[in-house]
Amino acid sequence: MTEPSPFPVRVERRAVDEAESRRANGPDWDAYADEYQATHGDYLGDAGFLWGPEGLTEDEAGLLGDVAGRDVLEVGSGAGQCSRWVAEHGGRPVGLDLSERQLQHSRRLDDATGVAVPAVLGTATALPFADAAFDAVFCAFGALQFVADLDAALGEAARVLRPEGRLVFSITHPTRWSFPDDPGPDGLRAATSYWDRTPYVEVNDDTGRVAYVEHHRTLGDWVRLLTRHGFVLVDLVEPEWPEGHERTWGGWSRLRGRLIPGTAIFVARGPGRGSA
């Protein structure tokens, strides 16, 4: 599911717990951040808000609603491009990311743009914020598909949201897990079971250590987990591949994008006042 690794890796599908996922993904993003920003930075835009490789922007989609005057948390904020968009639209964003190097890129873009986004080092499963601190929480291919303990991450999102606040997040479309992560024709042949939740793991061939982890849940799993935490699902957006869009990003390509969904964006309303 990932992009080319900076070191030789072998791919496995096997169980990985939250601690190991976190130990792997923070350093992995540190190692990969420079190349990621060099490759995708221009496309993302220093203060741009893209929901995924199909190029759907928040300007077009309006999934967060009006952010002006609102406290907005971005989980897995990377270099803070989306949060900077929030700031430019009158919101008060805060970013959170597991990778120090990604946060250094965030500071670099703060300086370059003159739009500073407060960003903290942390994990989605233990947010360092008070209860009911935010009007909206979002994640654009950020942390949620990288955590093993999604129950904890959604519980944390519910905790820091004000009553009926909005949670919006984009992830790799769950149906993609059946297909090889290949932008070409080989990526069109279903090869593994959609219902196999065994994580995707990359092991560093030099060190033998787990270097990268992604976790899969089916669409039903996501709905069940959201409702368990009191969220109401408002929309599930599956961006279509736009006419004339030729950019390939990892396994996302025009060839596949015209036939099968690549991104799922969940829009949910948080628990109301007095909800358990």
Ligand X SMILES: C[S@@+](CC[C@H](N)C(=O)[O-])C[C@H]1O[C@@H](n2cnc3c(N)ncnc32)[C@H](O)[C@@H]1O
Q: Which residue has the tokens 């961006």?
A: 239
| Other Cβ atoms within 10 Å of 54 Cβ, number | 21
**Distance of closest approach, residue 71 Cβ to ligand X, in angstroms:** 18
Stretch that binds ligand X, among 21-29, 130-138, 184-192, 259-267 (CB under 6 A): 21-29
Q: Is 93 helix (H, G, I), strand (E, B) or coil?
A: strand
Window 67 to 126, contacts with ligand X (CB under 6 A): 75-76, 78, 82, 96-99, 102, 123-124
Q: Where are the beta strands (DSSP E) in 176-218?
A: 200-204, 210-214
**Residues within window 206-225 making contact with ligand X, judged by CB under 6 A:** none
Using DSSP's 3-state secondary structure scheme, residue 44 falls into helix
Between β-strands 134-140 and 161-172, what pairing exists: parallel, antiparallel or unpaired? Answer: parallel
| Residue (41 or 180) nearer to ligand X, CB | 41
Q: Does 44 bind ligand X (CB under 6 A)?
A: yes
Region 24-43 residues binding ligand X, contact defined as CB under 6 A: 25, 29
Give me the least distance between CB of 90 and ligand X, in Å please.
20
Report the alpha-carbon distance of residue 187 to residue 194 in Å, rounded.
14
Query: 144, 163, 52: which is closest to 96 by C-alpha?
Result: 144
Q: How far is the CB of 143 from ligand X (least distance, A)?
A: 4
Residue that has been written with the tokens 């270097």 in this structure: 211
Shortest separation between residue 269's beta carbon and ligand X, angstroms: 22
How far apart CA 29 and CA 18 sit, in angstroms, is 16
Q: Which stretch binds ligand X (CB under 6 A): 138-146, 181-189, 190-198, 240-248?
A: 138-146
- Residue 108: CB atoms within 10 A of its CB come to 15
Q: In this structure, what token pair is assigned to residue 122?
A: 């942390």
Q: Does 270 bind ligand X (CB under 6 A)?
A: no
- Collapsing DSSP to helix, strand or coil, 269 comes out as strand
Q: Specify which residues 138 forms β-bridges with.
A: 74, 168
- Smallest distance, ligand X to C-beta of residue 101, A: 8
Minimum Å gap between C-beta 41 and ligand X is 9
Residues in a beta bridge with 9 = 204
Distance CA 73, CA 77 (A): 9
Least CB distance to ligand X at residue 272 (A): 27
> Among residues 64, 117, 127, 147, which is the contact residue for ligand X, using CB under 6 A?
147
Nearer to ligand X, 159 or 164 (CB): 159
- Contact between 239 and ligand X by CB under 6 A: the answer reads no
Residue ranges that bind ligand X, judged by CB under 6 A: 22, 25, 29, 44, 75-76, 78, 82, 96-99, 102, 123-124, 140-143, 146-147
